[in-house]
Amino acid sequence: SQKIEQNSEALNIQEGKTATLTCNYTNYSPAYLQWYRQDPGRGPVFLLLIRENEKEKRKERLKVTFDTTLKQSLFHITASQPADSATYLCALVANSGYALNFGKGTSLLVTP
């Protein structure tokens, strides 16, 4: 069966450091992989989309890598800030149509 695995343990880091979150998947052949941010009691917010032929993508302090051989994506936040504290979700398109399957998310806490 298809699985999207994210580190379920919360990640606590100090302000200014780089946060690295991992997304592993099985039984997918994705053309795209996406990362979303979700704050408590809110809907997810789209952050980045990376295509299968892109190794790396950047947006301001965010960087995403996509290794289709390892079936893994890494999500980096550089110079992290307390405002970056949230749950980050990895998402892949389901087999049919454009529906997304989400991982459980990794909770990030950035402390001053």
Q: Does 97 engage in binding with other proteins (CB under 8 A)?
A: yes
Q: Please give the residues from 68 up to 87 whose contact with other proteins meets the rule CB under 8 A.
A: none
- Residues 6 or more apart whose CB falls under 8 angstroms from that of 102 comprise 4, 36, 44, 89, 90, 91
Pick the closer one to other proteins by CB: 42 or 59: 42
Minimum Å gap between C-beta 98 and other proteins is 6
Pick the closer one to other proteins by CB: 79 or 94: 94
Tell me how many residues contact other proteins (CB under 8 A). 23
Minimum Å gap between C-beta 69 and other proteins is 21
Q: Secondary structure of the chain: what % helix, strand, coil (to 5)?
A: 5, 55, 40
Q: Does 43 engage in binding with other proteins (CB under 8 A)?
A: yes
Encode 2-25: b = buried (16+ Cβ within 10 Å), e = exposed: eebebbeeebebeeeeebbbebeb
Residues in contact with other proteins by the rule CB under 8 A: 32, 34, 36, 41-46, 49, 51, 89, 93-94, 97-105
